[in-house]
Amino acid sequence: MYSKHEAALIKKEFWTSLGMYLKPVLNASGQKINWINYKTGIKGIYFRTDVTKKAASVAVELTHASETDRFAALEKLTSLRPVFSEMAGDGWAWQREVYDESGRPISRIIIQKEHVNIFDKNDWPAIISFFKQHLIALDAFWHMAKDYLED
């Protein structure tokens, strides 16, 4: 068991390592990008990465305050689901309404890798590979779909 301070240091080391690993990877436009804090350019739509003692996940989160706006954005994404699946692969869960850690309703498209632990450095290569694969795929999809979703 780690103290809060030790756990925070390990998490910081992981995210720093991931950032350094992904730093030379260019986005779909050939530009440098901050993969950890990916900017979609559309308010209310975020790419999220998370890793715990049990799993790693990559998600597209729709956090619009208005349920109508959130569901409209989800419907647009859903209309592109075949393209999304072709570019990002299968295994993504499309969740119309879930609640974030603050209890706010969100919509989400998420994929998880189970049985990995941020506190086990032996798992880091698998977690980093998982994040890289799915973030690059999301970026390629986003490069193609962003204009449609902005309208």
Residue with tokens 């080391």: 13
Helices 4-22 and 124-150 sit at what angle, rounded to 10 degrees? 60
From the number of C-beta atoms within 10 Å of its C-beta (0-12, 13-18, 19+), residue 106 rates as buried
Q: In angstroms, rounded to a whole number, what is the distance separating the alpha carbons of residues 24 and 71?
A: 35
- Record the tokens describing residue 35, joined without a space: 């993969």
C-beta neighbour count of 33 within 10 angstroms: 17
Q: In angstroms, rounded to a whole number, what is the distance separating the alpha carbons of residues 140 and 123?
A: 26
In this predicted model, what pLDDT tens digit does every residue of 63-87 receive, in sequence order?
A: 999 999 999 999 999 999 999 999 9
Provide the CATH number for the domain around residue 141: 3.30.1460
Calculate Rg over the CA atoms of the chain: 16
Residue 151 has pLDDT above 90, yes or no: no
- Record the tokens describing residue 3, joined without a space: 């103290």
Count of domains observed in the chain:
1
Mean pLDDT of all residues in the chain? 95
The CA-atom distances, in angstroms, between 100 and each of 16, 38, 137 are 25, 19, 24
Residue with tokens 């030790």: 6
SS3 113: strand
Residue-number span of the structural domain to which 75 is assigned: 4-150
In this predicted model, what pLDDT tens digit does every residue of 29-65 receive, in sequence order?
A: 999 999 999 999 999 999 999 999 999 999 999 999 9
